[in-house]
Structure 1
């Protein structure tokens, strides 16, 4: 089983039966248009001459409608498996909330585009159905009602279960930050590493006592690689790597460091240490971070496999691959 198959199986929406996402999938299936289209085609077979000029056009549009529904269902199964409605209340910083919203808005655009094409096809289908027979009004109403119901499901999900709680969490985090002692590095932020309190304290201390530059050189030496081996495999230019190596972090991106971690085949703890040393981390609530964490935890350092999975979820790829 590929890492992509493992990930999609692990983060299947069926794993979260108490989530809003699971409920929406059930409702989406109840709004299926496939049986309606099957009934329309069955009606044609028994009541409409096959020589009708508009019949072929109508069947093409019906096939499109079915494809759009299945595309929505397929994307929903994939995206809802990330269970964002459960992630937002658990987020530990405003940055995590913003990253979750960035993911969600990216997926919302995908759904909106499919719905737009679906609507265009539906608008072509209705007059074709009317031109063939006036006995198809019930089918037409069903097709329109199902489309409207599915669009409402998704609008309600994004607005009520994502946007609203995200705004509430941002306000809560802001209020807490105003009253809390400012600390540049939170020990609790890394509790998703499943470290003991002792290990977490050591992790916290190490991130403060060793610079990014020192950690990077240490891990390169341990891997028995040269600088050139690392920056070429990571898809980073020599100039950018020079900035990284000399702690000039103003031009550094998180994807660059993750690429280095994958090339060096660092385990989860070392990856988090290297990221933490320059102010980053892998969250368990953000799609990109979740995918990278899953791959590392499953000893998958194959760049092509990782990028295939990142691409599947519309995330930025690593090691200079676009």
Structure 2
């Protein structure tokens, strides 16, 4: 998928470029910077940085990756947090944007970022995350690149407290474990079960009385997922490019869906298209049904998706932030 949040060691990412949260003098530092220097080979990387000299806050420069799996290291000094009144947000946005532009200039197809400035520079993690996601998301609407936002552990990732609490409350109110549902069904009154059995017998009888040959059934098939999706795109007056980018979907996968009438996507891919098309809950379920899925109150993933749809928040990257925070699969492909 174009933007993916992963829990990994940045220095071990197999991408075209990784981003170093550098200092302005481009010297080996601590934290992420120190780890990158050690993994790349301290002396060679420092020599390359010395040849460049320095880099201003918010700007970006590039060196070879040396001993890393990545071909390049893009160095960008983020701002030091001073309470938020010294253009920290604008400078942090520049760090992400200029790094992406530099990667594009060097024809990188993939790049991995840390959460810049959130270490010893003290930038609040939830605010830095919002800036990172919005800047990267805006860039990807106009460019094709696979971008990873890498966090080393759960402590390095922080969803805003207000949003986390709101989603948590929604899950508490709507999430129902399958075990509870089964237990409840087993406790139904006997006469309710008898009525249900009578209905099932009647339905079976009606089914047998109708000519349901295989040929007739095949002729009555509803539209496939691909057909429904393409019809909705036309109805929403959206372009293919706009659709797959807003769905956080790779162009090659979208091409498979467009050219394959019987293509069955993964559930997270189908949901991603529902988000891209700004479908309501009923419309989302209708689209999912064509691929053999639905939304269930026994799935935390589904409940979180329903929360965002009900809030009319269709920003797929913000949704993925929440899914990541709750250890759920991310939308896209």
Provide the TM-score with structure 1 as the length reference: 0.39
Provide the TM-score with structure 2 as the length reference: 0.37
User: Comparing both chains, which one has the higher relative contact order based on Cα–Cα distances under 8 Å and sequence gaps of 6 or more?
Assistant: 1
More strand by share: 2
